[in-house]
Each structure stands twice: as C-alpha cells, then as structure tokens.
Amino acid sequence: MLNAAGWGRLGAGTLLAGALVVAAAAPAAAQNPGPDLFVSFDREPVAEVDNSGVTLGMYVYNYGDAPASDVTIVVDATGVDDAVQLAEGYHPGCEITDRVVTCAYGALAAGLTDHIYPVRLASRAGATPGDAGTMTVTISSAEQDANPADNTTTFPVTVLASGPDLVALVDDINTEQDRVGPGDTAPLYAAVLNEGDSTADSYTIGLDLPTGVGFVDEYTDCDYISYWPNDPKTEGYAYGPSRVTCALTIPLAPGETLFLVDEQGESLFDLYFGNNLAGPDQTSGSFEARLVADDPAQAQARASTAGGKSINEALANAQAAAARSAGRSAASLLEEIDTEDNVDYFAVHTKPNTFDIAVTAEPVTGEPGETVDLTFTVVNNGPSDGSGPGVTVTAPSGTVLLPSDWCYTEGEPGTRLPESPALRCNFESIFPATASGGGQITHTLQLKIESTPGTDGTIVADSGGPSTESDPSNNTVAIVFTGAGDDPDDEPGGGGAGDGDELPITGASVGTVVGVGAVAVALGVALLLTVRRRATVTVSAPE
C-alpha cells in the first residue's frame, strides 16, 4: 500500500511520463507538415434533385499548416442512377467525361476554406422518386496530404417528386432563302413535352404573332386577343388577332410529346401574311405551354362547352394517327431541352415591302410679334407598316420654333432650346398603315414670328424599319403664311406658281402646288373666255 509520499512520487512520475509523450509527439507532426485537404457539401445530408435541377455547392478546406498546389477535385457520379442527369456547374476549369466531373482548382493556402459549385444535377423525365445512388468526391494536391484518410467522401442523391414540367417547342417558320410576304401562308409546327414525373391533365398553350401575321383558322375553344381595337378588317391586311390561348385537356404523361398537328400530320396553326408585313426583315413570335394555375375543372369546362371547330377534338383525333409520341421520339429530345423552358421563339423571314409616308400642314396666320400654331399631319398610306414616324420641321426665316413634347432641337439630340431654328420630332415606335384604323399622327408646334416670315420653311416626314419609301415626293410640305384676314388661295399669299414673293398653297406638297397652280391658270382663262362670250350675247339681245 502506497503512503502519501508514494502517491506524490507516482503523480510526479505520471506527469513526467505525460510530458515525455507530448514532447515526443510534437516532432512527429513537424516531420509531416503538409496540407490537409477536405471536402463537404452545402446541403447535407443528401442531394435532393428534381427535374428543375440543382447546382451542388461544396466547401473545400485546407486544415493543414502548409499550402496545397495543383488542387484537383473529382466528382464521380457513376454510382448515381441514370435517371439523374449530370452537368458542369459554375466553377471554371471543370470538365465532364463519362459521368465524372474533374475540376482543376489550383492553389489553396493553409487554413483557408473556399465555396465552389462544380456540378449540376437534374432528374430526367419519368424519374422514380426516392434513392438514386451515391456520388463520390475526392480532393488531392501535388503535395503529400497530412491526413489522406479524409480526402474522399460520399454523398447520397435522392430524386424528389416534382410534378409535371412542360417544355414548349416550336420551329422557325422559314429561312432567309425562303422568305414570306403579302398573300403567302405557311404552317407553324409546335409541340409540348412533359419532362416531369407526373401527368399533366390540364394546361394551356399560347401563341404570340408579330404584326402583319394572322391565324388562318380560329378555334372556338381558344381565346383570341387583338392589339389593334380599331382594325376595320381590311382585306389582305393582318392586324389581329395577334395572340391565342387554348386550354388543353388531353393528358400528357411523363416523357410524352404532344404535337400540334391534325390526323394527316398537318399543322393546326397555319399562318397568313398581310400586306402590312414589313420587310425584308427577320421578326419573331413566341409559343408557350403552362400548367393551369386555377382549378383544372374550369379549364375542362371551358374546353368542353365550346362549339364549332375545336382544337381539343382535332388533337384527340390526331392521337389515333400517332401524332402523339412517347418513348424514342421524346427521349431523343431530352438532352437538348432546358427543363425550365416554358417559352420558345420562332423566326419569320420576310420579303421586301414598301410604305408611302405623306405629310400635310395647315396654313399659318400671324403678324410679327405673335406666337401662332403650326399643325401638321403625317399618315402612312402603306401598304407596309413602318416605325416612328420622324418629322423635321425647319422654321421659315424670320421665325423660331418653341419647345414641344416629342421634339428636340435639330442637331442637339435630347436638348430643347428655348428657341430653335429647326426641331426633330420622333413619335410612336410603330407606325401602322391606315388600313389598321390608325396610321395617322397630328401634332401642333408653337411658331414665334419675329419679322416678316420667309418662304423657306418646310416639314419633312420619314419612317424607319426595313420597308422602303415608295413616293418621296409627298414626304415634304412647305410652311405657308397668310396675312391676317387673307385666304390662303388669294394673292399674294396663296399662289404657288407666281413670282418669288408669293407663297405655296398651304397643306400641299411642293410638287402638288405647281400642278394645282397650272390647273388654276388654265381654268381661269377658260372662265374669262366664257364670261366674255356671255357678255357679248347679253349686250346684243335687246337689239
């Protein structure tokens, strides 16, 4: 039995032994001071994946007391079910080969941690929810790792039930070598793919067309919208409807594709191209497919109560002719489709077209010292739609133009000086032909008369877009002044063919003024001869 002194000797010896153990361990660590690399995931304990996809984040650590160089991270997904698709994430230097992602990270200093996104996962159409296998991740460097046992880790993957996932698919209408123009028709081929893991029982499709393109057929179980409420439906023009939405009630199972064609495989949406279609150009439209947000029964009722030509009936009939496809046809599309894409776009390549922009102006009456209205009207006689229009107004000598909405000082874009010798006015972005029920803009400017106005004032109109002007002669009109109380057709203010002091007729283009003046002179001579002849008869009658 040990006494107190023995206990003291034992305690001292034990402490000394412990100290020797610690002291002995320290040199061992110093002999291997390399980096200690480790990887963990930012969404422990499992990667949950659906068909919308998820980008996996990883934390990369160096717990060692030395830097690591040429760090490489390898994500091996060969142990994950093929129902899960693998893609590179957002980290530079990553490459994928046979379901293995290899990322060249570079250097990682001692004690540092970094957050990277090397891989993206998404479940395929029809993937069974549940366990989908395990990924293995390995990190290494050019140096000997201080603790190689933790350089490799595993991460389980689970597929979540995600419901239907609709993808819209549509082909371009044509190519640059096969353009369409006024009077042409062409089919639009579109389809809806379900990349989800459950059946879509009720969903909608929608088509938006560019101006100048219309639907050949209209279905009673679809809703149509026109963006041109004043459209008089002029023959040969296409001003709406420009959008259609159809509620479809044909079930679309996971992995299946619904092609919008009839029993013969012909498109259910043939398009026609109006006289107002601008060109040559490449314009575009869109096709979309979406799940019904409200009660699916409402969509069912909307589709089933409609009479006449039904798109749902046409699609149902086409099913019997194998227009609805699953298996190989749908699977061939899976690798090329963005699972988040509910909208697709189609191109329309158009033929050359022309428009006729014309401008007129009202007469101006005023005296020096007055500020008067200058009103002009610009029309697009078509047939093509244009853009703008743009108008350049040059004040007659002796006058200046005051600031106005939509206008800026010519030569000073975006600037409105208090007084300008000329203004540039830019109006609406689309300038349709008058066949639309619009195509006309009237604007009033303020003209300040400082001295006797000259005859050099003009208004010039133009339009942009791919189409070209067919009649430049009516793009320009002269600004006409009449004296207070004068009629614009009276001398000396109204004649367009007189001497230099006479002003052109108001509201007509310069070329038209000369023609009208010539007609007036000829008519005046004829009237004078008639009056003289009648006077001769009247005088001789009493005799």
**What is the DSSP secondary-structure string of 250-313?**
S-B-TT-EEE-B-TTS-BSEEEEE-TT---SEEEEEEEEEEE-SS-HHHHHHHHHS--SS-HHH
Is pLDDT above 80 for 169?
Answer: yes
**pLDDT for 195:** 80
CA distance 520 to 504: 13
**pLDDT for 521:** 35
Measuring CA to CA, how many Å separate 29 from each of 61, 147, 258? 19, 11, 66
Instruction: Tell whether domain 354-488 is in CATH 2.60.40.290.
Output: yes
Helices (H), 305-377: 311-319, 328-334
β-bridge partners, 113: 61
**pLDDT for 186:** 98
Residues 189 and 219 sit within 8 Å (Cβ to Cβ): no
Pairing of strands 364-365, 481-482: parallel
Backbone angles phi, psi at 401, to 5 degrees: -100, 140
Backbone angles phi, psi at 257, to 5 degrees: -125, 130
**What token pair was written down for 350?**
């158009």
pLDDT category of residue 526 using cuts at 50, 70 and 90: very low
pLDDT category of residue 89 using cuts at 50, 70 and 90: confident
State the Cα angle at 216 between 211 and 218, rounded to 5°.
Answer: 100
* Cis, bond preceding 241 (omega within 30 deg of 0): yes
Task: Name which residue leads in pLDDT, 530 or 228.
Answer: 228
Measuring CA to CA, how many Å separate 499 from each of 120, 146, 395, 457, 524? 82, 104, 21, 17, 18
**pLDDT for 278:** 98
CA distance 292 to 372: 58
Residues with Cβ within 8 Å of residue 166, at least 6 apart in sequence: 192, 193, 194, 195, 196, 200, 203, 252, 289, 290, 291, 342
Look at 146-155, 176-185, 219-228, 483-492 and tell me which has the smallest mean pLDDT.
Answer: 483-492
**pLDDT for 47:** 86
* pLDDT above 90 coverage of the chain, percent: 61
CA distance 392 to 441: 14
Please count the CA atoms within 13 angstroms of the CA of 118 that sit on its side-chain side. 30
Looking at mean pLDDT, say which of 46-50, 157-161, 200-204, 219-223 comes out highest. Answer: 219-223
- What is the dotted CATH code of the domain comprising 37-159? 2.60.40.1510
Residues 496 and 517 sit within 8 Å (Cβ to Cβ): yes
pLDDT category of residue 414 using cuts at 50, 70 and 90: confident
Look at 78-92, 164-178, 383-397, 487-501 and tell me which has the smallest mean pLDDT.
Answer: 487-501
**pLDDT for 482:** 86
First to last CA, the chain: 181
Is pLDDT above 90 for 534?
Answer: no
Q: Return the closest-CA partner of residue 314 out of 260, 272, 249, 270.
A: 260
Residues with Cβ within 8 Å of residue 16, at least 6 apart in sequence: none
**pLDDT for 538:** 27
Q: Do domains 37-159 and 166-350 have the same CATH topology?
A: yes
Is pLDDT above 50 for 426?
Answer: yes
CA dihedral of residues 293, 295, 298, 300 (deg, nearest 10): 90
Tell me, what amino acid is at 432?
P
Q: Residues 516-520: what's their mean pLDDT? A: 38
**pLDDT for 483:** 65
Measuring CA to CA, how many Å separate 368 from each of 449, 480, 501? 5, 15, 17
CA distance 258 to 322: 10
Backbone angles phi, psi at 371, to 5 degrees: -115, 125
**What token pair was written down for 355?**
């428009």
Helices (H), 163-266: none
Q: Residues 172-190: what's their mean pLDDT? A: 97
Running DSSP on this structure, what letter comes out for residue 467?
S
Q: Residues 416-441: what's their mean pLDDT? A: 95
State the Cα angle at 358 between 356 and 364, rounded to 5°.
Answer: 180
What's the chain's average pLDDT?
A: 80
Is pLDDT above 80 for 16?
Answer: no
Q: Return the closest-CA partner of residue 228 out of 439, 462, 468.
A: 439
Look at 15-19, 47-51, 227-231 and tell me which has the smallest mean pLDDT.
Answer: 15-19
pLDDT in tens, 111-148: 999 999 999 998 887 788 899 999 999 999 999 999 99
Q: Residues 62-86: what's their mean pLDDT? A: 94
CA distance 488 to 506: 7
**What token pair was written down for 540?**
């001789």
**pLDDT for 333:** 33
**pLDDT for 340:** 58
CA dihedral of residues 90, 94, 96, 101 (deg, nearest 10): -90
Rg (CA), the chain: 40
pLDDT category of residue 22 using cuts at 50, 70 and 90: very low
Q: Residues 45-63: what's their mean pLDDT? A: 88
Please count the CA atoms within 13 angstroms of the CA of 509 that sit on its side-chain side. 14
Classify domain 166-350 at the CATH class level. Answer: mainly beta
Domain spans in the chain, listed from the N-terminal domain onward: 37-159, 166-350, 354-488
pLDDT category of residue 410 using cuts at 50, 70 and 90: very high
Q: Return the closest-CA partner of residue 56 out of 48, 64, 65.
A: 48
Torsional sign, CA 26, 28, 29, 30: positive
Looking at mean pLDDT, say which of 197-211, 286-300, 490-504 comes out highest. Answer: 197-211
**Entry pTM:** 0.63
pLDDT in tens, 291-342: 886 444 444 445 444 457 899 999 998 877 654 443 333 333 333 333 457 8
**What token pair was written down for 389?**
């229009």
**pLDDT for 341:** 74
